Amino acid sequence: MTVGEVRAVRWIDLDEVESPKDDLRLRGHAAGGVLFARGEGIHLATRPDGGCDVFFTCTSGGDRRLGQIFRLTSQPKAGLDQLRLFLESRDPRVMDYADNLTIAPWGHLVVCEDRFGLKTNHLRVVTSAGQVCALARLRMRTELAGACFSPDGRILFVNAYSPGRTFAIEGPWSAFSETPTPA
């Protein structure tokens, strides 16, 4: 798929979904399903119309294996589900191994990078138009994970995988409520 491309979704029913043989993805693919590269982060956002948007990452997906973000849009009243390749990194300075993600109170995605073993990983902001900018940089040999906002939207929490630490980041988030300058 190319960025922005949309495809209709057809769901496939499978047996033995607990997959004791660890072959569910292979059986799904044999039945016509799509294989995704290292699916990790996922965020569900419900809409007032009864539909939802599911954003998910493929940490090592894409032509350059730097990561992808997909958007599944479900419109149950219309009986229509669509999958769109929302973002594919072609430059590690823009996005390197997109992993956990969440939707910020102002509507942009906040994405944790997962290049474990490097000395630097970033939190990235991705706009609804697919523009990317750096929100924060962590200079530790670890990965970032579990980004989420406090219920009032004032504090962003994010974890450093090892050693286990949680960081609380306060805005000002108004700087990101408009379209940020790309990385």
- Could you report the per-residue pLDDT of 54-82, keeping only the tens digit for each? 999 999 999 999 999 999 999 888 888 99
Per the domain annotation, does 75 fall within a domain?
Answer: yes
Helix/strand/coil (H/E/C) assignment for every residue in 94-157: CCCCEEEEEECCCCCEEEEECCCCCCCEEEEEECCCCCEEEEEEECCCCCEEEEEECCCCCEEE
- Could you report the per-residue pLDDT of 7-50, keeping only the tens digit for each? 999 999 999 999 999 999 999 999 999 989 988 899 999 989 88
- Could you report the per-residue pLDDT of 89-110, keeping only the tens digit for each? 999 999 999 999 999 998 999 9
Give the DSSP H/E element, type plus range, for residue 39.
Answer: strand 39-46
The structure's pTM equals: 0.89
Per the domain annotation, does 182 fall within a domain?
Answer: no
Per the domain annotation, does 166 fall within a domain?
Answer: yes
Tokens at residue 177, please?
């409520």
Q: What is the mean pLDDT of residues 155-175?
A: 89
Please state the domain count of the chain.
1
88: closest CA among 115, 66, 114? 66
Give percent of the chain above pLDDT 90: 69
Domain that holds residue 81: 37-176
Q: How many Å from the N-terminal Cα to the C-terminal Cα in the chain?
A: 23
Domain of 77: which CATH number?
A: 2.120.10.30
Per the domain annotation, does 45 fall within a domain?
Answer: yes
- What distance in Å separates the CA atoms of residue 10 and residue 95, rounded to the nearest whole number? 30
- What distance in Å separates the CA atoms of residue 127 and residue 176, rounded to the nearest whole number? 9
Calculate the alpha carbon distances from 25 to 6, 37, 42, 44, 120 in Å: 22, 11, 17, 21, 32
Per the domain annotation, does 1 fall within a domain?
Answer: no
pLDDT of residue 178: 57
How many Cβ atoms from other residues are within 10 Å of residue 169's Cβ?
16
